[in-house]
Amino acid sequence: MSAFVEAAKLAELEEDTPKRVEIDGVPVSLVRTEGEVFAINDICSHANVSLSEGEVDDCAIECWLHGSAFDLRTGKPSGLPATQPVPVYPVKIEGEGPAAAVLVSVTQES
């Protein structure tokens, strides 16, 4: 079983605005969009830059440097120049309302 750790409170996540966190030394971008919260590795597989500095659209995060977009559910790129996916991680929400905890496991990919 994978270890889930608290990465943020739900109230800290603005809709369609990535938030960079570090979990056990792993850079993670948390994204609240379309009624869900996603956790994706924060490093672009093509350019080695932070994905959390990019924009979110249609359940994907776009790398600000070269424009590759990665599906928040699978980590797969939707177009060039990136050809390799980035890891995505399971997310659990504990509690209710804005104080709910966003838990992420970086020991197991989704």
DSSP string spanning 28-97? EEEEEETTEEEEEESB-TTT--BGGGS-EETTEEE-TTT--EEETTT--BSSTT--S---EE-EEEESSG
How many residues does the structure list for the chain? 110
Dihedral sign from CA coordinates of 103, 107, 108, 110: positive
**What are the pLDDT tens digits along the chain (110 aa)?**
459 999 999 999 999 999 999 999 999 999 999 999 999 999 999 988 999 999 999 999 999 999 899 999 999 999 889 999 999 999 999 999 889 999 999 986 66
- Residue pointed to by tokens 């776009």: 62
Specify the pLDDT at position 1: 44
